[in-house]
Chains A and B, each alone.
Chain A
Amino acid sequence: MSDCKKYIESISSMMDGELTAEQESELRTHMEHCAECRKVYNAFKSISDSLSEDLIQPPETLSESIMSKIKLQNKSGYKKRFAFGRFTAVAACFALILFGASRSGLLSDSSKKANETAVAPREIEVRSVTGTCVPESGVSIQDDYGAVEKDAPAESKPASEHKDKSDEAVSEEGTVIQFGFTTQNMAILNGTKAQDIKKEPVFLFEAKEFSVYQGKYYAEENSTDKNTLLFNVSGEEDISAFSQLLAAIPENSIENKADDKKIIEESPKYTLLIPADKEKDEKAKDKIISIWYIKEEIWCVAQDACPPDKNSVAAAGVNNAEKILYRGEGIPDKFEELIKKVKEKNGIM
């Protein structure tokens, strides 16, 4: 009976149905002769029975409470995005990510002010979510890109004014737009506590244009030649295509870990530059969204285009980001495809 040590762990596996028939029969034969192992078996068995027989019914209010919360959430217009399937999503959310950044109020130094600004236009925001981005007609935005219906005519503005103005921008370290699958997760962390933001969803903004750079974007003066501009995106179709893609990235409140920081110190794959809309707010700052492909995921971090220290580069501020903007599995391929399409469209190969 010297085999007990070998068998004892198998007893546990056998109870879980994880042994092969052969292993099980060997163990059972052993147990017939071994009182110790039978004892262990009985002990394990009684724990197992005790746990599995003892399911407590949850209070009836549980499912009611869950469903009423979900209904409430849906009322705010958000969950309509589900109507578009997995990799499509409402441009609304998107407008937030990409273009929220371009609106200064939210990212101004005073987080108080940020909240006010964010809360005030809420009605309009919601309307634009449902009206602009969720076609009531049922037209899906699921196709490749650009099928979003919109009432307002496309307005495109020349991308001109952002270059010289970055100096005016006071940079904010660690300003990160946190974006997730729900409104509650979309938040701008700007000295405001995350839980405060959760209560008051912020945004919606309209971007009229943005630029996509290969690699890192250098915001400081005299560095224009360092930047590799791929193309400008100004058409509504293209903008919504980006929006859908980025909006489709789910769940994302991942804290930066030390290793993550190391990764995002490296130059990003692409950088999106969203010039500030100075007409709306003269204190607005240009924003960048840096995009990395990490394994199968896409990682994004948003921040002011202007570096904290003029000697450093824009992306360096990423280290201070409290959160990764978002990460989504399987997105890089789709994003790459999109970049390619827009390139083709613009005649860049």
Chain B
Amino acid sequence: MTREEESLLVLKVQNGDSASFEKLVLENQTKVYNLALRMLGNEEDAFDMSQEAFIKAYNSIGNFRGESRFSVWLYRLTTNVCLDFLRSEGRKSHGSLTYMSDDDDEKEIDIPDERFSPETIIQKKELRQAVNRGLMSLPKDYRIILLLREIEGLTYDEIAKALSIEEGTVKSRIFRARKKLCAILSADGNFSYNSSSNEAKEV
């Protein structure tokens, strides 16, 4: 969907056409859901919070002025909805890791990706699981910013706007988030990245 198409849909919704909102939902739901899923760590909460984020978006779409892409605005709402939820639940970031259950493993095997050898699939899958687990151990700020970048594909400028922080902070926070995640993964033994290489050795 181009930005123009998106703006047109938003305009239609602002003018009372709720059917157009459905198109926006279909276009954005995967990313919103994945953002919520990785923020919250389980499918049920991710479903509820995605729903809440979209309804919130619908109800306040009059407030959206097209300064950013609609999706950026939507991710910001999603992030806030998830944070509120985490706060209200008083949840620990280590809480539930159920979404990468054994059932999911089976599902993935059902849909093999032929680009990769079976061996690679297993490695990739293991890595993905490890990354997802590691993500839940990251501090919330790090988790959010990494997700906005990696899943939603926002630019630093967009992230800065979405989180109301400086662009320089975005840059260093993403870097630190990656570093931290690497450290968690290598501590788990899932990663060849050596935590000691955080501090680059001088040769």
Would you call B14 and A47 a contact (CB within 8 A)? no
Contact residues in B for A58 (Cβ distance below 8 Å): 29-30, 32-34, 46-47, 50
Contact residues in A for B150 (Cβ distance below 8 Å): 47-48, 51-52
The residues in B between 40 and 67 inclusive whose CB is less than 8 angstroms from any CB of A are 43, 46-47, 50-51, 54-55, 58-63, 65
The 7 A-B pairs with the shortest beta carbon distances in the complex, nearest first, are A4-B200, A58-B33, A43-B193, A250-B63, A12-B175, A51-B150, A83-B16
The residues in B between 138 and 176 inclusive whose CB is less than 8 angstroms from any CB of A are 146-147, 149-151, 153, 155-156, 171-172, 174-175
- Nearest neighbor of A65 in chain B, beta-carbon distance: B51
In the bound complex, CA of A83 to CA of B18 (Å): 11
Residues of B within 8 A of A (CB): 13-16, 18, 21-22, 25-26, 29-34, 37-38, 43, 46-47, 50-51, 54-55, 58-63, 65, 99, 124, 127-128, 131-132, 135, 146-147, 149-151, 153, 155-156, 171-172, 174-175, 178, 181-182, 185, 191-194, 197, 199-203
A58-B47, A181-B62 given; A1·B14 CB < 8 A: no
Is residue A46 within 8 Å, beta carbon to beta carbon, of the partner chain?
yes
In the bound complex, CA of A184 to CA of B182 (Å): 44
Across the interface, A9 reaches (CB within 8 A) one of B37, B171, B191, namely: B171
Is residue A57 within 8 Å, beta carbon to beta carbon, of the partner chain?
yes
A70-B18, A82-B14, A250-B63 given; A2·B202 CB < 8 A: yes
Residues of A within 8 A of B (CB): 1-2, 4-5, 7-9, 12-13, 16-18, 36-37, 39-40, 42-44, 46-48, 50-59, 61-63, 65-67, 69-71, 73-74, 79-83, 85-86, 89, 180-182, 184-185, 248, 250-251
- Nearest neighbor of A51 in chain B, beta-carbon distance: B150
Across the interface, B15 reaches (CB within 8 A) one of A13, A54, A85, namely: A85
Contact residues in A for B22 (Cβ distance below 8 Å): 63, 67
A9-B172, A18-B155, A251-B60 given; A40·B193 CB < 8 A: yes
- Nearest neighbor of A4 in chain B, beta-carbon distance: B200
Contact residues in A for B38 (Cβ distance below 8 Å): 51
Contact residues in B for A62 (Cβ distance below 8 Å): 25, 29, 33, 47, 50-51
Would you call B21 and A70 a contact (CB within 8 A)? yes
A4-B202, A16-B156, A62-B47 given; A47·B54 CB < 8 A: no
Would you call B18 and A55 a contact (CB within 8 A)? no
In the bound complex, CA of A67 to CA of B146 (Å): 30
A47-B131, A56-B34, A79-B18 given; A66·B25 CB < 8 A: yes
In the bound complex, CA of A54 to CA of B108 (Å): 11
Across the interface, B37 reaches (CB within 8 A) one of A7, A56, A61, A185, namely: A56
Would you call B203 and A1 a contact (CB within 8 A)? yes
23 cross-chain CB contacts under 8 A: A2-B202, A7-B200, A9-B171, A13-B156, A18-B156, A40-B197, A42-B193, A47-B185, A50-B124, A51-B38, A51-B150, A55-B30, A56-B30, A58-B29, A58-B47, A66-B55, A67-B21, A67-B22, A69-B55, A79-B16, A181-B60, A181-B62, A251-B59
Interface residues of B: mostly helix, strand, loop or mixed? helix
Interface hub of B31, B34, B99 (most chain A Cβ within 10 A):
B34
- Nearest neighbor of B12 in chain A, beta-carbon distance: A82
Contact residues in B for A37 (Cβ distance below 8 Å): 200
Known: A12-B178, A51-B146, A56-B33. 11 other contacts (CB 8 A): A4-B201, A16-B155, A16-B174, A36-B200, A39-B194, A39-B197, A43-B193, A50-B127, A56-B99, A67-B25, A79-B16
In the bound complex, CA of A13 to CA of B156 (Å): 9
Contact residues in A for B146 (Cβ distance below 8 Å): 51
Kindly provide the distance from the CB of A41 to the nearest chain B CB, expressed in whole angstroms: 10
Kindly provide the distance from the CB of B53 to the nearest chain A CB, expressed in whole angstroms: 9
A36-B201, A44-B178, A54-B128 given; A181·B30 CB < 8 A: no
A1-B202, A55-B34, A83-B15 given; A43·B149 CB < 8 A: no
Would you call B55 and A70 a contact (CB within 8 A)? yes
Kindly provide the distance from the CB of B60 to the nearest chain A CB, expressed in whole angstroms: 4
A55-B151, A79-B18 given; A47·B62 CB < 8 A: no
Kindly provide the distance from the CB of A201 to the nearest chain B CB, expressed in whole angstroms: 13
In the bound complex, CA of A13 to CA of B173 (Å): 11
In the bound complex, CA of A10 to CA of B38 (Å): 26
In the bound complex, CA of A6 to CA of B154 (Å): 24
Kindly provide the distance from the CB of B151 to the nearest chain A CB, expressed in whole angstroms: 6
Contact residues in A for B59 (Cβ distance below 8 Å): 73, 79, 180-182, 184-185, 251
Would you call A63 and B26 a contact (CB within 8 A)? yes
- Nearest neighbor of A54 in chain B, beta-carbon distance: B128
In the bound complex, CA of A82 to CA of B59 (Å): 9
Interface hub of A7, A66, A81 (most chain B Cβ within 10 A):
A66
Would you call A9 and B175 a contact (CB within 8 A)? yes
